């Protein structure tokens, strides 16, 4: 009779897999010729990516006037998309680093793909602040380095510079953490390769891994250190992004709740994107259903539900503090959000982020793939509108009615938003076919075999 501990572990992998079967199931996706369905999906994503490049290139050549930014809404879709994509990347770090440090075994099947999602989301996000400067060819001015301009250094008090430090640090640590975790699996692909080119490429990427006790000891120590370094980034990076707003004197922005509120929202949207991708992976890669099980999906849905309630608490706290402060400007800012010309965006945000995730109180919905797929998409719709509400409704009506204006997204705003998904999906689809999408080295210890 199996112990309860073994039963709990066995539920993480279905089908009584042998170690050889695990290696085969995960590796074969990188070895076989892609099917028609995959190629059509990749072609669609690449078409969207090319459209994105054309839109971004046109904006760079012609100017920011093609986008809807104006006076008084000087921050538009670029900053909204920056915060949105950085937030999506947070779930990967949480799953990989924090859950690893807490020895949560259920993370093993989804950690690799979540880490990849983090890297691709940060890469997508990094383009938007560069575009927002209006002169991306001068972006190197944002880097603090000795130069011939004498004492003309970057402004270290500028939130734009904080974004540079936050994004570059987060991207560097995330890429290193993701790559180091893949080294044993890359060696597996190297050893299985029959093509000389594949063997050469994977041989270089695997850094001469031989699987000796010394290699494993160094690997585990390095992975632990990187997990410990990555953990504070979950809290610090989106806190820094929130300072873009919180250090301002604008009603609706200068609030001390923004750092924890943004972090909770980032984890919320990040897990939403992970669930969306995992639902698609289960459909397009049938053998992965035994590794990315309903139990994994349910665990992520519980986190979505909890962080959704935290975000809802933050929304209500903002309203309460605005009323309690007695400041007419704060009260007007939030009244304008709820009943003003952009009230529709506020109520979309509230519905998608606070009300809809409550479906996950019911186990039937938490374990239903169609339900969680729809909810996960609506979560990210709501989180995009959250950033839209923060940026647009706080700026379009400020202290003086003479300065009031409107913000109407143009074709190029929609192109930058929609096209960014083309870049993200193209990178993700290429990753799925070239690198092990599930960690072979981490999944194997969780397998339980019948004796």
Does pLDDT of 403 surpass 70? yes
Q: For residue 33, give every residue at least 6 positions away whose Cβ sits within 8 Å of its Cβ, in sequence order, or none.
A: none
Query: pLDDT confidence of 5, banded at 50, 70, 90?
Result: very low
Domain 4-448 has CATH 1.20.1630.10: yes
Taking Cα atoms as reference points, which of 291, 283, 298, 286 lies closest to residue 367? Answer: 298
- Between CA 350 and CA 125 the distance in angstroms is 24
DSSP 192-228: H--SHHHHHHHHHHTTT----HHHHHHHHHHHHHHHH
- Between CA 408 and CA 416 the distance in angstroms is 14
* Residue-wise pLDDT tens digits, 244-294: 898 888 888 888 899 999 999 999 999 999 999 999 998 888 888 888 989
Query: pLDDT confidence of 206, banded at 50, 70, 90?
Result: very high
pLDDT at position 150: 67
* Residue-wise pLDDT tens digits, 87-146: 898 888 888 888 888 888 888 888 888 999 999 999 999 899 888 888 888 888 888 877
Taking Cα atoms as reference points, which of 111, 87, 85, 28 lies closest to residue 441? Answer: 111
Query: pLDDT confidence of 84, banded at 50, 70, 90?
Result: very high
Q: What is the CA radius of gyration of the chain?
A: 23
Does pLDDT of 2 surpass 80? no
Q: Do the beta carbons of residue 311 and residue 354 sit within 8 Å?
A: yes
Q: Do the beta carbons of residue 365 and residue 359 sit within 8 Å?
A: yes
pLDDT at position 7: 39
DSSP 384-434: HHHHHIIIIIHHSS-S-GGG-------HHHHHHHHHHHHHHHHHHHHHHHH
| φ/ψ bin of 210: left (φ > 0), alpha (ψ from -120 to 50), beta (otherwise) | alpha
Q: For residue 400, give every residue at least 6 positions away whose Cβ sits within 8 Å of its Cβ, in sequence order, or none.
A: none
Does pLDDT of 371 surpass 80? yes
Q: Do the beta carbons of residue 29 and residue 433 sit within 8 Å?
A: yes
* Residue-wise pLDDT tens digits, 214-238: 999 999 999 999 999 888 887 888 8
* Residue-wise pLDDT tens digits, 15-58: 788 888 888 988 988 888 888 889 999 999 999 999 999 999 99
- Between CA 33 and CA 45 the distance in angstroms is 19
pTM over 0.85: yes
Least confident of 5-14, 252-261, 340-349: 5-14
Does pLDDT of 354 surpass 80? yes
Does pLDDT of 204 surpass 70? yes
Query: Considering Cα of 269, then 275, then 278, then 279, what sign does the dihedral take?
Result: negative
Ranked by mean pLDDT, the top range of 163-167, 297-301, 400-404 is 297-301
Does pLDDT of 148 surpass 80? no
Does pLDDT of 6 surpass 50? no
pLDDT at position 31: 85
Does pLDDT of 176 surpass 70? yes
Taking Cα atoms as reference points, which of 337, 427, 414 lies closest to residue 78? Answer: 414
Query: Considering Cα of 216, then 220, then 222, then 223, what sign does the dihedral take?
Result: positive
Give, as one character, the DSSP assignment of residue 33: P
pLDDT at position 450: 39
Q: Do the beta carbons of residue 265 and residue 304 sit within 8 Å?
A: no
**Which tokens in the block code for residue 257?**
């709740």
pLDDT at position 448: 53
**Which tokens in the block code for residue 194?**
């029959």
pLDDT at position 3: 42
- Between CA 295 and CA 11 the distance in angstroms is 8
Residue 148 burial (CB count, 10 A): 5
The chain-wide mean pLDDT, for the chain, equals 88
pLDDT at position 365: 94
């Amino acid at each position: 009779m199996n112990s309860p501990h073994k039963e709990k572990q066995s539920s993480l992998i279905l089908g009584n897999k042998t170690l050889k079967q695990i290696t085969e199931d995960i590796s074969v996706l990188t070895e076989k010729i892609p099917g028609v369905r995959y190629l059509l999906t990749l072609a669609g994503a690449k078409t969207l990516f090319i459209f994105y490049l054309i839109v971004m290139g046109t904006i760079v050549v012609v100017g920011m006037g093609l986008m809807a930014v104006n006076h008084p809404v000087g921050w538009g879709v670029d900053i909204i998309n920056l915060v949105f994509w950085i937030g999506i990347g947070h779930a990967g770090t949480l799953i990989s680093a924090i859950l690893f440090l807490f020895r949560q075994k259920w993370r093993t099947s989804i950690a690799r793909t979540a880490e990849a999602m983090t890297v691709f989301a940060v890469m997508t996000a990094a383009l938007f602040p560069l575009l927002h400067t209006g002169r991306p060819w001068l972006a190197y001015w944002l880097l603090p380095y000795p130069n011939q301009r004498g004492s003309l250094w970057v402004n270290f008090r500028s939130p734009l510079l904080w974004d540079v430090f936050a994004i570059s640090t987060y991207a560097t640590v995330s890429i290193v953490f993701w790559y180091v975790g893949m080294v044993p699996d890359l060696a597996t692909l190297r050893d299985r390769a029959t093509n000389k080119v594949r063997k050469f490429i994977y041989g270089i990427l695997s850094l001469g891994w031989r699987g000796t006790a010394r290699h494993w000891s160094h690997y585990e120590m390095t992975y632990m250190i990187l997990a410990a370094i990555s953990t504070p980034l979950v809290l610090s990076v989106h806190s820094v992004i929130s300072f873009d707003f919180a250090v301002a004197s604008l009603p609706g922005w200068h609030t001390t709740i923004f750092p924890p509120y943004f972090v909770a929202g980032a984890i919320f949207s990040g897990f939403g994107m992970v669930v969306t991708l995992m639902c698609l992976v289960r459909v397009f890669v049938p053998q992965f259903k035994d590794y990315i099980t309903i139990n994994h999906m349910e665990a992520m849905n519980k986190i979505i539900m909890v962080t959704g309630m935290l975000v809802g608490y933050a929304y209500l706290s903002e309203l309460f503090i605005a009323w309690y402060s007695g400041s007419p400007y704060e009260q007007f800012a939030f009244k304008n959000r709820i009943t003003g010309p952009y009230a529709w965006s506020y109520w979309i945000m509230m519905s998608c982020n606070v009300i809809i995730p409550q479906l996950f109180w019911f186990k039937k919905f938490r374990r239903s793939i169609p339900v969680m797929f729809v909810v996960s998409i609506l979560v990210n719709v709501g989180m995009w509108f959250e950033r839209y509400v923060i940026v647009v409704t706080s700026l379009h009506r400020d202290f003086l009615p003479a300065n009031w204006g409107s913000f109407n997204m143009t074709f190029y705003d929609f192109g930058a938003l929609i096209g960014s998904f083309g870049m993200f999906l193209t990178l993700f689809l290429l990753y799925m076919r070239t690198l092990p999408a599930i960690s072979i080295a981490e999944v194997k210890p969780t397998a339980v075999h019948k004796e």
